[in-house]
Amino acid sequence: MVERLLDLQSSSGDVEASAVVSVDGLSMATALPTSVEEDRVSAMSAAMLSLGVRIASELGRGNLDQVYIRGKSGFVVLMAVGSEAVLTVLAKEQAQLGLLFLDMRRTVTDLVELL
């Protein structure tokens, strides 16, 4: 899984970091810089996924596809990896979101096979 995360980062220059996290908040694979705490990313990713699933369901939006947060310094994008994990990506502020989503979907497809 780590190899696939590194492939995502090398294919998209806008991806600064990535991780696969279980729905329970446990890190399964990461490609994070040393300045980013793995445990913090894992816990927040699981919490955001859980909240996103609940919001989508209760507001009649169907199954959750993605959650993204835009800050002044960039994006945090989460995509479900099956029903047991989430792919979290930290992207630069100038990221082309359409291309990023496409690359992430391809990565998710590969990760589902690995799980």
Q: Is 96 exposed, middle or buried (0-12, 13-18, 19+ CB in 10 A)?
A: middle
pLDDT for position 11: 86
Domain range enclosing 28: 2-114
- Tokens 């919001």, located at residue: 55
pLDDT digit string, tens, across residues 82-115: 888 999 999 999 999 999 999 999 999 999 988 8
CATH number of the domain encompassing residue 24: 3.30.450.30
Residue 71 banded pLDDT, cuts 50, 70, 90: very high
Whether 59 has a pLDDT exceeding 90, the answer reads yes
pLDDT computed for residue 20 by the predictor? 95
Secondary structure letter of residue 39 according to DSSP? H
CA 88/CA 111 separation, integer angstroms: 12
Structure letter (DSSP) for residue 79: E
Report field, pTM of the whole predicted structure over 0.85: yes
User: Given this model, what pLDDT does residue 110 score?
Assistant: 93
- Residue 34: pLDDT band (50, 70, 90) is confident
Q: Which two tokens stand for residue 62?
A: 């169907």
Q: Which residues sit opposite 76 in a β-bridge?
A: 69, 90
Q: What is the mean pLDDT of residues 51-76?
A: 90
pLDDT at 53: 87
* Burial class of residue 25, CB neighbours in 10 A (0-12, 13-18, 19+): middle
Domain count of the fold of the chain: 1
- Count CB atoms within 10 A of the CB of residue 70: 13
Distances (CA, A) of 87 to 17, 39, 54, 67, 73: 11, 15, 18, 10, 20
